[in-house]
Structure 1
């Protein structure tokens, strides 16, 4: 049973004894009775969790004592108990940070009991929130959040660390499925804003006519259906981070309004006149080439320079060397746990197939492939036959993103081998190349044939 330390500061011994007896009916409460403000201050090092104070003490009044307590511990709950019903004094003390003000009468004991219960519940909730935030911070440590040991990812981690140490705007670019929101979260939860909100907004998922209200909020009656004031995402992210995903989808009219908000560091809700000051860190993301969008007139140049800040470019999975296997093993463990499966390993043939496949859908595609393979596997390991790459990524190798000539050659040969039951001679004849070219690729493990 956890004890809860309470100081009772009361110069009337009889009344102090009554309060102590009443509170000790809860065996969790550990009571310390004190008779003066100086005694209370001298024992604050014992770290009480709550203090009740008689406003009229022999050596100082309650206001003076509260000021001294607040200087030592701004978060320590304080309840005042006074023999006089002075509304002005009560209001002043509550403004100074007192948690409650009770008048001595027949109901004081019960009111005190209820007040302590409320304060303890608020302390418990606050502690849970702090614990969750701490867990989030640990969860989003860079190397734990975004697996990868390739040179490309080490460069990304170095830039993310710089971003986390500052409040500069950040722009995250990369192909679809590379994990842009995960990067944004990791930067936020490792920054000094970690205890404040992280508010994500997918610009492409919100209709254009609703986006202004969604971002900046609106006042009651601003338009048909606006039955109450709505706080926008900028205000929700106060002192935290606003993540605008797919920023390139924002139309030009809203781009100008966003630019004004970022320049002025304030906004006006739709249908309102009040200016709302902002303290928000902005992180944006897109899979498009924003510089190209600017050249083509689809994106404002002044907004581009305002939001670009510190650029973080995520490499596609095909440029991350052996990270694909590290990620695959992690996803496999996760899939086994989620689906209550026994432990599974990746077979050598599965590993080679994963290393060869270009993954046009990047990390998102890899995760989907591994989750399906875990469910489809019949043994203690995932084999190449369990990897349904075509059903997710497709065999349309030539339509995926730009690759080297060697990657195209490997992809074409893989496709034809599969279509022709791995008949090497037939594929060589179709492509008008020697069989030795294909055998060399197999020997170099650039192509893996099913065992």
Structure 2
């Protein structure tokens, strides 16, 4: 029961019958079951917030009606299923009016009917939780200030550009260093714009092998190549009339840039191995950490494609140019991490604040978040001190050579570190480490390396 995610209390003074029900329900390993033989014991355990209580109507110490009322008073969301030895319609109707989910009569079919009732309850709970999660998620995306935190002049300019972008369907190009939040901006624009109720599809160009990127973007027909055992829709088709976000567009192979340009010009695609022309009406948002005009000069990026993608440019400033936003972000990360982990309120000492403000943050917001969370863990007091702001490598990296490993394990650890550092940009990591990108793709395919 260690991985149980659904808690059920069984209240019945008949020891044999309660064990029978528990055994039947234990066939689902997700159920965490507790048996009680008295109403007092069951009510005393209600602080554990069970999802369901199965209630024997005839108990020696309290009536089933009293237990139902007290259970619903303590936890209105807990569902109560009455199990009675009496087939009494009037009593059943009365209990259902008082909040019982179901009324079952004890017979040979009761365990199966109970199983079915609990299954329905769990489906409803999961559905409500999912709806609540989606509402919260979309609600947060509607507010730019909750997506990009800060009040510096550069960030206020970003907010202005995001607002303009959200009011139209113009192509958006987002530029900024790794870790500045380019995908967050793309999502916020989508969920604040006219296509907010349509799909949002993100594609990291750098994380997809060159030989697969065409199929990934445009789809393929059955038999188009070895391994194409069925038709597959590409990401442009998945986006439909919504938004497709092409992250690290600067890594797109030059041979595929012409095909993307045609898609943008003609607003149609053709699947690999197919002849059918498929119209595409989605909005395009692209992002890159590269200087695309410089890439155009070098011949690595088509000039005509660059101007087609430029649209409304949004530049995300590096954290070192955002001044006091560093402390605003640090406080937010500290508060969130401390709350999520039940660590109590944490504040930054004056010296710790000055240390943060004097640091250039090559990893930008992502690095600041990691530093802030580590500082919370390291701090034993309410106030985080200067020495707990650790700009050096984390303990695992500092002790990298302390643990004897095989050369292969060291290699995997080094490559994984740089993948994490450079936002899983496979091509950039291959360049940094002077290793073939096909080697990295093979290691990813073999699950030796992890990408998000």
Which bracket does the TM-score occupy, shorter chain normalised? Answer: 0.5 to 0.7
Tell me how far 1:381 sits from its aligned partner: 1.7
- Unpaired segments ≥5 residues, structure 2: 1-71, 73-92, 98-119, 395-452
Residue-by-residue CA offset, 1:238-288 (whole Å, 9 max, x unaligned)? 111111110000011111111111111110111111111111100000011
Query: Which of 378, 381, 398 is matched with 2:380 structurally?
Result: 378
Question: For residue 438 of structure 1, what is the aligned residue in structure 2?
Answer: none
Query: Which of 131, 146, 149 is matched with 2:148 structurally?
Result: 146
Residue-by-residue CA offset, 1:119-150 (whole Å, 9 max, x unaligned)? xx99x96x988765543332111011110100
1:328-367 aligned within 5 A: 328-367=330-369
Question: For residue 136 of structure 1, what is the aligned residue in structure 2?
Answer: 137
Q: Secondary structure of the equivalent of 2:177?
A: coil
Residue-by-residue CA offset, 1:31-87 (whole Å, 9 max, x unaligned)? xxxxxxxxxxxxxxxxxxxxxxxxxxxxxxxxxxxxxxxxxxxxxxxxxxxxxxxxx
Q: Does 1:308 align with 2:310?
A: yes
Instruction: State which structure, 1 or 2, has the greater radius of gyration over its C-alpha atoms.
Output: 1
Contact kept in structure 2, 1:133 and 1:194, CA below 8 Å: no
Residue-by-residue CA offset, 1:6-42 (whole Å, 9 max, x unaligned)? xxxxxxxxxxxxxxxxxx9xx89xxxxxxxxxxxxxx
- TM-score between both structures, scaled by the size of structure 2: 0.58
Q: Distance in 1 between matches of 2:130 and 2:346?
A: 36
Q: Does 1:197 align with 2:181?
A: no
- TM-score between both structures, scaled by the size of structure 1: 0.58
- Unpaired segments ≥5 residues, structure 1: 2-23, 29-117, 393-451
Higher mean displacement: 191-200 or 154-163:
191-200
Higher mean displacement: 161-170 or 192-201:
192-201
Residue-by-residue CA offset, 1:140-162 (whole Å, 9 max, x unaligned)? 11011110100110001000000
Query: Which of 243, 257, 267 is matched with 1:255 structurally?
Result: 257
Q: Does 1:181 align with 2:183?
A: yes
1:25-104 aligned within 5 A: none
Question: For residue 210 of structure 2, what is the aligned residue in structure 1?
Answer: 208
1:263-274 aligned within 5 A: 263-274=265-276
Tell me how far 1:382 sits from its aligned partner: 1.2
Q: Does 1:217 align with 2:224?
A: no
Query: Which of 320, 331, 347 is matched with 1:318 structurally?
Result: 320
Residue-by-residue CA offset, 1:321-359 (whole Å, 9 max, x unaligned)? 100000000000121123332221111111110011111
Count of residues in correspondence between the two structures? 276
Question: For residue 51 of structure 1, what is the aligned residue in structure 2?
Answer: none
Contact kept in structure 2, 1:328 and 1:370, CA below 8 Å: yes
Contact kept in structure 2, 1:240 and 1:280, CA below 8 Å: yes
Q: Note closer, same or farther for the CA distance 1:185–1:250 as it changes in structure 2 (3 Å cut).
A: same
Q: Note closer, same or farther for the CA distance 1:303–1:334 as it changes in structure 2 (3 Å cut).
A: same
Higher mean displacement: 128-137 or 312-321:
128-137
Residue-by-residue CA offset, 1:73-116 (whole Å, 9 max, x unaligned)? xxxxxxxxxxxxxxxxxxxxxxxxxxxxxxxxxxxxxxxxxxxx
Q: Distance in 1 between matches of 2:197 and 2:371?
A: 35
Question: For residue 240 of structure 1, what is the aligned residue in structure 2?
Answer: 242
Q: Distance in 2 between matches of 1:293 and 1:128?
A: 46
Question: Alpha carbon RMSD of aligned pairs, Å?
Answer: 2.4
Q: Note closer, same or farther for the CA distance 1:218–1:129 as it changes in structure 2 (3 Å cut).
A: farther
Q: Distance in 2 between matches of 1:128 and 1:162?
A: 34
Contact kept in structure 2, 1:221 and 1:271, CA below 8 Å: yes
Question: For residue 297 of structure 1, what is the aligned residue in structure 2?
Answer: 299
